[in-house]
Amino acid sequence: MEQRVKVGISCGDSNGVGMEVVLKTFADMRLFETITPILYAHPEWIKQTKKGLGLDELMYFSVASAKDAQAKKLNLVNIDKETPFNIEWGKADTQAGKWALKSLETAAQDLANGSIDVLVTAPINKDVVQSNQAGFIGHTEYLAKMAGTDDVLMFLVADSLRVGVVTGHVPIKDVAGQITKEKIVKKVNMMHEALIKDFGVPNPRIAVLGLNPHAGDNGLLGTEEKEIITPAVRELNEKGLAVFGPYGADGFFGSGTFHQFDAVLAMYHDQGLTPFKTMAFQSGVNYTAGLPIVRTSPDHGVGYDIAGKNQADESSFRAAVFCAYDVYVQRKRFREYGMNPLQKQNIKESRDDKRE
């Protein structure tokens, strides 16, 4: 039987496309068969967006808390009953940052106390949120701090294409200095564990990219591959993991070699996210691996340029909702199999299986 999962949704920047993609997603009533969505927002946020989108028939129900959420309905937890609310489409505004922060904090608290099962986060403007002395760069860093961990994996997923990064939101001039053998080993181990426990891939094959053009060209274009990345791959192989590389990023994606692997570890943000978003922008999901909770988000930003114009595509947000549901159910199955190892496991087919 399919399980009903409470999906908490922080609605992002009120002046961006966050609420638009949320409401467009749940205008499809089929999602309510297995998902109970709980939005954390001000009622006017929904009303003004509904009016702009012509979604007058989409109903929502205010609840005192997530614990009171009703099945097969779009539920709203009011994050502020006192402050007047107004949307200024496309404007980077401090007040919008406050709403985004309040929405995230309230949803995250409910996630921590078990009132919701998973969290899906709509896009925020990091600069605007920082202007409110938030003390964090983005969703990933906030949730990592809340979970009491200093290391998580930014993992972009779209069906069988999965890309993680060693370094995330850091300036390009600092990337080389942050690449270490220990960090690569740790990120691959996190990726390997997530593939098995969260995505049901029984025997993961993982590719590791080089840092320099042509993976260093045997030392001509840099030594990080010889001195750091290759030793990391060797150590992982010695521990029994199917890890390969380092590969030159351009040829790896251009030739389609990525199809041979269950996941790819890139060295820095744009090295991994540029090809990923080129191939899967409308279906891609940003998943945070390494956390005790399940959190996903769409792979796009606040979209100020199209905010309020009814032009935002909800596909990535919908995919993020489905991904959160799938990971939650898969984790639960994995725990149950651990308690009863003789039970037949219904694990998703991997690319290894397809090639045999």
One DSSP character per residue, 150-202 reads S--EEEEEETTEEEEESS-SS-GGGHHHH--HHHHHHHHHHHHHHHHHTT--S
Name residues whose C-beta falls within 8 Å of residue 156's C-beta, 6 or more positions apart in sequence. Answer: 162, 163, 164, 272, 273, 276, 277, 280, 284, 285, 286, 287, 299
pLDDT level of residue 2 (50, 70, 90 thresholds): low
> Per CATH, the architecture of 1-149+291-356 is what?
3-Layer(aba) Sandwich (3.40)
* pLDDT at residue 332 in the model: 92
* pLDDT at residue 209 in the model: 98
Q: Give the Cα separation of 65 and 343 in Å (integer).
A: 37
Q: Which residue has the tokens 């840092």?
A: 211
Q: Residue 121: enclosing H or E segment and its boundaries?
A: strand 118-121
Q: Find, among 296, 54, 317, 279, the residue nearest to 264 by Cα.
A: 279
Mean pLDDT of 249-274: 95
Identity (one letter) of the amino acid at 65? S
Instruction: Locate the domains of the chain by residue range.
Output: 1-149+291-356, 151-283
Count helices and strands (H / E) in the chain.
Answer: 13, 12
Q: What is the DSSP letter of 31?
A: G
Per-residue pLDDT of 36-88, as tens digits, reads 999 999 999 999 999 888 888 889 999 999 999 999 999 999 998 888 888 99
Per-residue pLDDT of 98-108, as tens digits, reads 889 899 999 99
* pLDDT at residue 347 in the model: 43
Q: Are 156 and 167 in contact (CB under 8 A)?
A: no
Q: Give the Cα separation of 60 and 202 in Å (integer).
A: 40
Query: What's the fold here for domain 151-283?
Result: Isopropylmalate Dehydrogenase (3.40.718)
Per-residue pLDDT of 150-169, as tens digits, reads 789 999 999 889 999 999 88
Q: Are 206 and 191 in contact (CB under 8 A)?
A: yes
**Intrachain domains 1-149+291-356 and 151-283 with the same fold:** yes
